[in-house]
Chain A
């Protein structure tokens, strides 16, 4: 249990998707203009990563890893399908996003309207595929670890976009040099935020 909590905290603050790995930057910069939409996208991303990482973990364990097909019988024990992982991961992500979209539309139209166009866009958000690939690279042992990792990574991403959106709303009235307005200042702000987040480095729980 402690182990899981540690994993969560580490992925939110220290190995933050945005500040340490720069994943999902495109939508991060494009959507963070207003706080309200950022919160919506943040929640959607948390949701999608928390669902896709464990599913991909199962795929990895029972289908893709070297020797993973052993449960089919000894004849399959030597297969190594890991070269297919990109294709399968992205297909699973696209399918789950589609599925989630349909479920939300049916059961909670208000949430569906709030998330709007963001749901389909998440399929190509690199934070989601990135989380799946990091899960593969770090070889998490149990499905609980993979789920917590997914939740932590998504939460960290959401935290980052909400923080940046809040700052961007505030600086709208500041006198920034014209060529730096918009994109330039967002980059520099993110850099400064990343420096602040580096203060969490080395924390052990």
Chain B
């Protein structure tokens, strides 16, 4: 794979991370991260939708009249999301229930519109596809990190397996119930941004 294409995949993981740098797609990132499993499935769904919507829009980019492009984009995204939603309902019903409205909200996930407008409308299909997948991964990475922290400290388990031994609880260790509540998702992401920008100083806002 050419190095330019590789860059499209790698860049969104750190320097151009959709959540911590581009500030896109935050809503769902916070809401589905109480446990690791829904977060993983959400990350996968978003990656599929970003990849394919970028591919489709990039293939159509020369035929879409610019005045109605937003509606065309929304229709493509909505159709893909409906497919994903039906698949989730068919194969992982319990997770689909847990994600509730947030699967539908992938439609208005700003990552999608953001990448379509900023990248797919001006680039070739294959590059756009890679850009979509890369951004999906960048988004997924933050989701997984946040959900691992929240599930580990909030309920002492990972993917449903008890990780903190029973003897700890007998010795007086308690799960931090705060981690499961919504506010801690915000604060966790805030701290992740802090750590990332300490390491990567050119991202600091003046």
Contacts and interface: CB of A to CB of B under 8 A. Distances in A.
Contact of B86 (A83, A192, A195): A83
Given A188-B187, A191-B186, A181 B24 contact: no
B190 A22 contact: no
| Chain B CB within 10 A, most for which of A126, A137, A195 | A126
Interface string A42-67: 00000000000000000000000000
A23 interface: yes
A128 B187 CA distance: 24
Contacts of A198: 181, 183
B205 A183 contact: yes
Interface string B182-203: 1111110111011111100101
B31 A29 contact: no
Given A184-B193, A187-B193, A22 B70 contact: no
B23 A86 contact: no
Given A30-B23, A133-B104, A179 B81 contact: no
Interface string B26-51: 11101100000000000000000000
Contacts of A21: 27, 31, 182
B82 A87 contact: yes
B101 interface: yes
A90 B107 contact: yes
Interface residues of B, number: 49
B187 to A, nearest CB: 4
Interface residues of A, number: 48
Nearest to B32: A22
Given A90-B108, A129-B108, A137-B101, A123 B27 contact: no
A125 B108 contact: yes
B6 interface: no
B183 A19 contact: yes
B23 A187 contact: no
Contact of B71 (A86, A94, A126): A94
B190 A26 contact: no
Secondary structure at the B interface, as helix, strand, loop or mixed, is helix
B8 interface: no
Contacts of B54: none
B82 A86 contact: yes
B183 A179 contact: no
A128 B82 CA distance: 18
A183 B20 contact: yes
A194 B74 contact: no
A181 B194 CA distance: 9
Nearest to B111: A26
A119 interface: no
Contact of A192 (B70, B107, B183): B183
A187 B201 contact: no
Contact of A190 (B25, B70, B186, B197): B186
A181 B198 CA distance: 11
A17 to B, nearest CB: 9
A194 B187 CA distance: 10
Interface in B157-205: 181-187, 189-191, 193-198, 201, 203-205
A177 interface: yes
A179 B195 CA distance: 8
Given A21-B31, A129-B104, 12 more contacts: A22-B27, A22-B185, A30-B23, A90-B74, A90-B107, A91-B75, A94-B70, A126-B105, A184-B193, A188-B190, A191-B190, A198-B181
18 contacts: A22-B27, A22-B30, A26-B26, A29-B26, A83-B86, A124-B74, A124-B108, A126-B108, A130-B27, A179-B196, A179-B197, A179-B201, A183-B205, A184-B190, A185-B190, A187-B193, A194-B182, A198-B181
7 A-B pairs with the lowest CB-CB distances in the bound complex, closest first: A187-B190, A182-B205, A179-B197, A191-B186, A191-B187, A194-B183, A133-B101
